[in-house]
């Protein structure tokens, strides 16, 4: 199989696109882009070393009109995709591996919409838009939940009646493509540690942690939805269910308003009242900005403690995604709470965003490994194509 592959990583208000050259069974990145859908839709993309920004003022939603504008900009001139891979946030109990998208698999994903009502309809819209533009192109789905189907049984349980668990109200976990990519990189870079007990902290606008043994997920901080776990840019992370009942009775009234608040009005933004962006908070001297960052670090460290119980100890910690890869102060703030566990960072390696950031006396080795969800998607696309001998 050779040609051009595209990956789509569809959020509720953003779309990340990767363009890859496929040759001899490998996919090499050619271009990347992110489009934020909002009042002023804007497409930012890099092709080689060139960075471009384009305003798309008349595009208001993710759909065929958006793709018709974006793809000619980011695809190599005159080329059409031969393969398209999609990140699908929820695979429920049905999807434990990537699949070819056909009418059957698409119908099954459609049935999962109640589990991820903000994300799945947008992703399916992109699948349909691609089909309308390129009716014969092969499309695949990569599921964020699939990596966590190996979790231990206790980690999947909420303390609710058994029949609800059996009906699918259980802990699934997300960011699976990122964890798969990072764990494979760690195994290549440090095979002994990579096959040991590893906690990976994916700290981006969405944030979660995963405890793995031998590169396999055993427990993770996100659960039924991507609201669970540690605080995020605008989501609260785990929150006492009593608060939600109180809010529904006092001012929120319906699930849609509460949902919008929980996805967009909480987390770092809610606590600081300033921003959900760590870079902005780092430069802000308001005490509430400091408190938001302190809470973020405290809760991440707490989650690492919980995962240490799940794994029976920790050999290595890996930081990844925008904050994990680029914010020494956050890593330092997390490590400060974990000194009792034997984690100690090297001041200089941490400041330099080096690959190994733990100090010589640390009993836990700490790494920074950049994630690449787009590469993870396209690698799975190629694996599906191979599996089906297409």
Active site residue ranges: 144
Measured from the CB atom, the residue of 41 and 205 that comes closer to ligand ADP is: 205
Measured from the CB atom, the residue of 205 and 310 that comes closer to ligand ADP is: 205
C-alpha of 34 from chain center: 15
| Cβ 201 vs Cβ 296: under 8 Å | no
Measured from the CB atom, the residue of 59 and 281 that comes closer to ligand ADP is: 281
- Binders in 35-94 for ligand ADP, by CB under 6 A: none
Q: Is 163 annotated as a binding residue?
A: no
C-alpha of 384 from chain center: 21
- d(CA 86, CA 373) in angstroms, rounded, equals 11
Binders of ligand ADP: how many residues, by CB under 6 A?
Answer: 11
Contact region for ligand ADP (CB under 6 A) — 75-83, 97-105, 108-116, 202-210?
Answer: 202-210
Q: Is 277 annotated as a binding residue?
A: yes
- d(CA 187, CA 235) in angstroms, rounded, equals 32
Measured from the CB atom, the residue of 32 and 90 that comes closer to ligand ADP is: 32
Is 317 one of the binding residues for ligand ADP (CB under 6 A)? no
Is 286 one of the binding residues for ligand ADP (CB under 6 A)? no
- Options 105, 310, 327, 358; binder of ligand ADP; rule CB under 6 A: 327
Is 329 one of the binding residues for ligand ADP (CB under 6 A)? no
> What is 172-217 written as a DSSP string?
----HHHHHHHHHHHHHH-HHHHTSEEEEEEESSSEEEEEEETTEE
3-class DSSP assignment, residue 148: helix
Measured from the CB atom, the residue of 215 and 322 that comes closer to ligand ADP is: 322
Q: Which residue in 279, 116, 311, 289 sits closest to 209, CA to CA?
A: 311
CB hemisphere CA count around 387 (13 angstroms)? 11
Q: Is 380 annotated as a binding residue?
A: no
C-alpha of 206 from chain center: 6
- Options 230, 300, 321, 335; binder of ligand ADP; rule CB under 6 A: 321
DSSP state of 115: G
Is 237 one of the binding residues for ligand ADP (CB under 6 A)? no
- d(CA 266, CA 236) in angstroms, rounded, equals 5
Contact region for ligand ADP (CB under 6 A) — 68-76, 136-144, 178-186, 321-329?
Answer: 321-329
Q: Which residues are annotated as a binding site?
A: 9, 16, 87, 202-206, 277-279, 322-326, 373
The residues that touch ligand ADP, with contacts defined as CB under 6 A, are 204-206, 277-279, 321-323, 326-327
Q: Which residues are annotated as a binding site for substrate?
A: 87
């Amino acid at each position: 199989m050779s040609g051009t592959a595209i990956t789509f990583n569809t959020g509720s208000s953003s779309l990340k696109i990767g363009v890859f050259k496929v040759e001899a069974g490998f996919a090499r990145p050619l271009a990347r882009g992110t489009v934020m859908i909002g009042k002023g839709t804007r497409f930012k993309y890099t092709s080689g070393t060139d960075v471009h920004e384009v305003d798309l003022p008349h595009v208001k939603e993710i759909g065929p009109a958006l793709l018709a504008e974006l793809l000619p900009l980011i695809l190599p001139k005159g080329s059409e995709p031969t393969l398209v891979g999609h990140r699908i946030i929820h695979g429920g109990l049905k999807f434990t591996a990537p699949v070819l998208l056909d009418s059957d698999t698409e119908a099954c994903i459609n049935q999962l919409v109640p589990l991820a009502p903000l994300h799945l309809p947008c992703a399916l819209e992109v699948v349909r838009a691609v089909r309308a533009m390129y009716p014969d192109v092969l499309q695949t789905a990569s599921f964020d939940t699939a990596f966590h189907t190996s979790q231990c049984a206790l980690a999947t349980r909420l303390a609710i009646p058994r029949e609800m668990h059996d009906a699918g109200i259980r802990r699934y976990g997300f960011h699976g493509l990122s964890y798969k990519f990072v764990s494979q990189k760690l195994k290549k870079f440090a095979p002994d540690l990579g096959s040991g007990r590893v906690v990976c902290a994916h700290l981006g606008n969405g944030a979660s942690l995963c405890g793995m043994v031998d590169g396999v997920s055993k427990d993770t901080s996100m659960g039924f939805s991507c609201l669970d776990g540690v605080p995020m840019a605008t989501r609260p992370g785990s929150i006492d269910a009593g608060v939600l009942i109180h809010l529904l009775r006092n001012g929120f009234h319906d699930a849609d308003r509460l949902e919008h608040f929980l996805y967009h009005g909480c987390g770092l933004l809610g606590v600081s009242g300033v921003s959900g962006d760590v870079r902005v908070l780092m430069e802000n001297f308001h005490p509430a900005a400091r408190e938001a960052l302190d809470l973020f670090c405290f809760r991440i460290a707490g989650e690492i403690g919980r995962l240490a119980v799940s794994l029976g100890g920790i050999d290595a910690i890996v930081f990844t995604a925008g904050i994990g890869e680029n914010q020494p102060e956050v890593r330092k703030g997390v490590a400060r709470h974990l000194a009792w566990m034997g984690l100690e960072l090297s001041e200089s390696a941490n400041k330099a965003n080096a690959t190994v950031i733990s100090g010589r006396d640390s009993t836990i080795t700490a790494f920074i490994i950049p994630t690449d969800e787009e590469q993870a998607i396209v690698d799975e696309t190629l694996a599906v194509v191979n599996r089906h001998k297409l």
